[in-house]
Amino acid sequence: MLGDSLSAGYGLEPGQGWVVLLQQRLEQHGLPHRVVNASISGETTAGGLVRLAALLDQHRPDWLLLQLGANDGLRGLSLAAMRDNLDRIVMRAGQRGIKVVLIGMQIPPNYGRVYTEGFSTVYRDLAAKYRLPFVPFLMARVALDPELIQPDQLHPNAAGQPLLLDTVWPVLEPLLR
């Protein structure tokens, strides 16, 4: 798992994050996969790209769950750079025979319609280009429910974590059987 605070479990007690819950679900379903969570709060696509080679060398995964870009969007960073960074991550994983699941995000309209729509398009285009298994919006089931969001108005709380997993699971589970 290469992600940002949404996958690192920001603001949660250990064991509450959706990536930990994913490992538990894999075990419950008798699937032998081990999840390594290399997510870091505040991570951007550029940071993920810098860390990628060492992570792949260390862990040698069969699959890479890629959930980056939210911080690029919240900071108003270049969409072209974000697209290039994600593209390079996918390419480098593919060169090592690692399959990628792309987990997308959406951002609030703070930077205007063009940026907001362009942000979402980066994920759709990349998924189409590489024919990646794709989760369009990790926060689809929690984003608009204030009871599932921490006081910072950005991160899902513990009650929202199973819903993040339930958003990813239908795409991921058939790939792991």
| Active-site amino acid positions | 5, 152, 155
Beta-bridged to residue 100, according to DSSP, are: 64
- Please name the residues in contact with 77: beta carbons below 8 A apart, sequence gap of 6 or more: 44
- Indicate the residue type of 80: A
- Indicate the residue type of 47: G
Closest CA to 37 of 13, 9, 2, 4: 2
Please tell me the distance from the alpha carbon of residue 10 to that of residue 16, in angstroms, as a whole number.
10
